[in-house]
Amino acid sequence: MAQVNVLDHPLIQHKLTYIRKQDTGTKEFRELVDEVATLMAFEITRHLPLEEITVQTPVADAKSYQLSGKKLGVVPILRAGLGMVDGILNLIPTAKVGHVGLYRDPETLRPVEYYSKMPSDIHERELIVVDPMLATGGSAAAALTLLKEKGAQNIKLMCLLAAPEGVKEVQEYHPDIDIYLGALDEKLDDKGYIIPGLGDAGDRLFGTK
């Protein structure tokens, strides 16, 4: 069964508090989401394999390390996932970016796919799927299915906030995918919003409400 990891680094938790606050405006919200994405990416890339190499310093040879192993990819679920991309690319500038366009039908709460474009070599990459919100889990589960159908073999899911219902949905349909969260919240309301959550992530990021 996939692991659920809440990243409890103090800086992540502090910034999440300000992301949640209703009087945090669009500019600050966007900056904070960007910063938290960087911090979360820092935490979840701890396992990346290294190889030893020798480099010449101005003084002598030094045995040192560089990343080895698979190349990385970031896959935001549009729209709100876009807010987490640059924060990750700041750390891993060579990562390629795929996009999955999904919106949640407000009546059925089921995801509707409207776009996807992936790097051609996703089967060779370690992918981080990003979306601020894991609510019913329908959008994330659909994005993961789409990526697997396109050949992805190594995927992590990274979200700022989740409801237990969303975690359960992803675990049921994708038991092989590890989930990384800033916080695991209490529940969903009857409109499928995370309680206490942060409201509508896309609207807060892009100022559309």
**Residues at the site binding ligand URA, with contacts judged by CB under 6 A:** 133, 135, 192-194, 197, 200-202
Q: Is the peptide bond before 79 cis (omega within 30 degrees of 0)?
A: yes
Candidate residues 4, 67, 91, 109; the one interacting with ligand PRP per rule CB under 6 A: 109
Q: What is the DSSP string of 77-107?
A: EETGGGGGHHHHHHH-TT-EE-EEEEEE-TT
Q: Which stretch binds ligand PRP (CB under 6 A): 60-68, 128-136, 148-156, 178-186?
A: 128-136
CB closer to ligand URA, 71 vs 192: 192
Query: Which of ligand URA, ligand PRP, none does 138 bind, CB closer than 5 to 8 A by kind?
Result: ligand PRP
Among ligand URA, ligand PRP, none, the one that 111 touches (CB under a kind-dependent 5 to 8 A) is: ligand PRP
To ligand PRP, the closest distance from the beta carbon of 92 in angstroms equals 22
Is residue 171 at the binding interface for ligand PRP, with CB under 6 A as the rule? no
80 touching ligand PRP, by CB under 6 A: yes
How near is the Cβ of 207 to ligand PRP at its closest, in Å? 12
Kindly state the DSSP code that residue 118 receives in the 8-state scheme: -
Q: How far is the CB of 158 from ligand PRP (least distance, A)?
A: 13
CB atoms within 10 A of CB 85: 19
Residues 6+ apart with CB under 8 A from 179: 2, 3, 4, 5, 134, 156, 157, 158, 159, 162, 167, 170, 171
CB atoms within 10 A of CB 45: 16
Q: Which residue has the tokens 């975690």?
A: 167
CB of 134 to ligand PRP, least distance (A): 5
Nearer to ligand PRP, 126 or 131 (CB): 131
Looking at the Cβ atoms of 152 and 163, the one nearer to ligand URA is 163
Per-position b or e across 128-152, b if 16+ CB within 10 A of its CB: bbbbbbbbbbbbbbbbbebbeeeeb
What is the contact surface with ligand PRP in residues (CB under 6 A)? 77-80, 103-104, 109, 111, 131-140, 166, 192, 201-202
